[in-house]
Amino acid sequence: MKWKKLTNLFICITCVCFWVLLMAGWSYTYDTATPAGTDDPSEADDRMREIKAALQERLAVNHFFDLTGTEVSDADAGEHTKITYHVTLADPAQVAGKADLYMQADELRYQDDTNAAFDLTSGGSLGSAGTDLLANDAAFGGTLAVTGTLDVAGNIDPTTYETTNGGFIDDDTMATAADTVVASAESVVAYIGTEVSPDIRIKAWARFDGTDTITNGDSYNVTSVVRDSAGLYTITWDTDFSNAYYCATVTTNGRTSRINAQAAGTLQVATYNSMGVLTDASIVCVKALGDQ
């Protein structure tokens, strides 16, 4: 009998070692074919402890046992095929190092070990009013459908254009685009560049105070404004016109004005009082159009 027990023990140890190697991840064998009816009853306590250890090991991972033959030999065994939550009435009390995922008021809810809890769903949809699920960067491979309000604190950086549902439009479609679509700054600039002739754009302008000492209020494409004498001013363009035959206009406050001399790089204007005498004007406005 003693030798029989030793032989059985040796066989059991050999089998355990074999299955441990085969399981590639589980330390304890869970085999529905053991113990056999011919095993020594005195080993029942050992088999019970093995079952408890195998159950504890697998339940610590998950609850689904994937059987191969009579033994759980798959290293990935323990995955859920479904998780059903019962609705709880209150958030559970937590302890350090623990977190809960549960149902409350028909919504999926999460609570961390500081008792901070928030809903993960709202009305059957992912996310809720108090949940920032996209606190960090997120990449979407498909279409992000927004049925409510899209509140963007940062920048929208479109790399492609989609116009079906009011997305950004490209410059080649702006002429026929609906009123509800949005154009990017690049599209607006490109569209203006193709639709507005460069010949009709204002190429230079200036507004200045021409009394005694010139005060250049503001200007574009102007290098300088010089008071040549009373009521006579020369404006020098920053970028010259291609010739002297560009269109220029001058207006003043309460004075008669005219163009006195015109060149590709300069324009001289004159302002007169009611007696036709050259007289300084406190406001002089000049603008010019033409090829450059």
Report the alpha-carbon distance of residue 231 to residue 236 in Å, rounded: 17
The predicted pLDDT at position 86 comes to: 74
Q: Is pLDDT of 17 > 60?
A: no
> For residue range 80-126, what is the model confidence (pLDDT) as tens digits?
666 777 777 788 777 787 788 888 877 888 888 888 887 878 776 77
Task: Quickly count: other Cβ atoms within 10 Å of residue 81's Cβ.
Answer: 7
Q: Which fold has domain 200-289?
A: Immunoglobulin-like (2.60.40)
Residues 6 or more apart whose Cβ sits within 8 Å of residue 234? 225, 226, 228, 266, 267, 268
d(CA 18, CA 28): 11
**62 with 78: CB under 8 angstroms?**
yes
Task: Name the E strands within the chain.
Answer: 87-88, 100-104, 107-111, 117-119, 121-122, 125-126, 168-169, 182-183, 202-209, 215-220, 222-229, 232-237, 247-252, 256-262, 266-272, 284-289
Token readout for 158 is 């479109």
Least confident among 113-127, 224-238, 249-263, 264-278: 113-127
In this predicted structure, what is the pLDDT of residue 43? 82
Return the domain boundaries, the chain: 2-59, 87-126, 157-196, 200-289
% pLDDT > 90, the chain: 26
Taking the C-alpha atoms of residue 241 and residue 288, their distance in angstroms, rounded to an integer, is 9
Q: Is the pLDDT of residue 163 over 60?
A: no
pLDDT for 198: 67
Please give the Cα distance from 222 to 272 (Å, whole number).
23
Q: How much is the average pLDDT of 12-38?
A: 58
Backbone dihedral angles phi then psi of residue 192, each to the nearest 5 degrees: -60, -40
Q: What is the mean pLDDT of residues 195-216?
A: 82
For the segment 51-64, what is each residue's pLDDT rounded down to a tens digit?
A: 888 777 766 665 65
Contact 88, 104 (CB under 8 A): yes
